[in-house]
Structure 1
Amino acid sequence: MFGVEPICRVLTSHGLKIATSTYYAAKNRVPSTRSIRDVELKIQIRRVHTDNFSVYGVRKIWRQLHREGIPVARCTVARLMRDLGLQGARRGKKIRTTIQDDGQERAGDLLQRDFTASRPNERWVADFTYVATWSGIIYVAFVVDMFSRAIVGWSAATSKRAKLVLDALDMALWRRDRAGTPAGPGLVHHSDAGSQGEFNWSSQHLDRGGVGWDDRGSRCRRLRRGRDGSGPRTGRCGRRCARPAVRSRRALCSGSSGA
């Protein structure tokens, strides 16, 4: 419906400057050596993966290619397998840290997807992940100051409990207090849309609807217990995020749009 020239004009008018000659130059450009080699390697990687019942991962495919006299870097095999959507069989149960619960009301996104800050202690983002070790899975929570991209608080545990993420927030507040730059009014604490075992609740919902702060000004008093009665679990309670209780007014809480 539209030619190249009108499209380029519209893009240029919106600040994305591109010339028509640039488009045709890119379209008619000879493929690079790397792209040609990637096409050849993808054929070999898919063949090895299929011949071995689709259970080979990066390491085994990389070694098999070398045994067949096809020199290739391991990182290249990993990159091309991601492009092809291939992966090896993994032992054990797959771990998921983010499970969205559509049945609960989600906290508003106070950042509006703008992950920038003009000063320290203006916007903090939080999340947690896992690390495989010889002793088992370790879960690591962290809080990042968006102004400096510095990790201001962190914690590690062998289970996904509320204490994991709350300890990271505790540390962030404590370290900033000790450094002489305490978190003041206007701080926004932002986390993702949800997680395994109800992460969003403990890290976001510090409103006045019964979820207050303890004497240290950083830990939620009320925690939802796990279904198995094993103790408080990290996550979302369904309350809409507002602002801290009377004890502390240092931070607003924010939830993402699910990205």
Structure 2
Amino acid sequence: MAPVAPVVAAEPEEAFGASVTARWLVLTTDVNPSFARAVLPEGLGIPEQPQIAVWIVEPLSSGSAEVGDPFDRLFAGLSCSCLRPGDLQASAFTSDILVGSPTTDRGGRDAFGLPAIPHTGLALVNGVGGMGLAISPVSGDGRGLVGTVALDGCGSQQTRLTPDWLARQSWRERPMRRQGTTARAAASGTAADGLVHTRWKLTRLSPIVEGSAVLECAEFGSRGYDISATVTSLDARYGFARVTILGRD
């Protein structure tokens, strides 16, 4: 049985942290190094055993003045574990972030500082003993990512919703940046390598239900990654959590 929406007391917010409570479906699996190399940009290394995570998030409420009402917005992302230069601990490079509706707050701001996000069709539907998911391709060609998730009957207070490496995120800077603006990028929090590096904190708000996902087809995002060529099933975890973006690395 999937966990019900939690009722919990709020913890003190970290300074400057933009925070959102959401329901999460996180699919993870090991991939071969050649798949990881095709996803990761130059300069990011490959861990000994690379992984990918496909995540779908439905924000339910905001705990920060920095973020407007986040209702009715499904997000999806594809992240790959990586090693930043000089790091021994794996972090995440998020190659694609998709959204099913606008992500700005009431003032028209992109409060999370995310890159320009393509809009597409997203669906996460609860069913008996699991759920179905669908992510339409941004191009409109093909089927995108379609699959089913079978969940175990009971959730666990000990199970982690996401792998540790997802706590440190990198993604490409906004495509509107011009050449020769390294100083401006540094002032805005963008690293000289053209990537935005951030730190996230995920606070579990419900028992986490484990299971497995089977994908019928798996082309994700605008770059046409064919996950199905590498993976036939993925580990699935589902639950409610609050994500706080603590700041830039």
Category of TM-score, reference length = shorter chain: under 0.3
Q: Give the structure with higher Rg (CA).
A: 1
Larger RCO of the pair (alpha carbons < 8 Å, separation 6+): 2
Report the structure, 1 or 2, having the larger helix content.
1
Report the structure, 1 or 2, having the larger strand content.
2
TM-score by length of 2: 0.27
TM-score by length of 1: 0.26
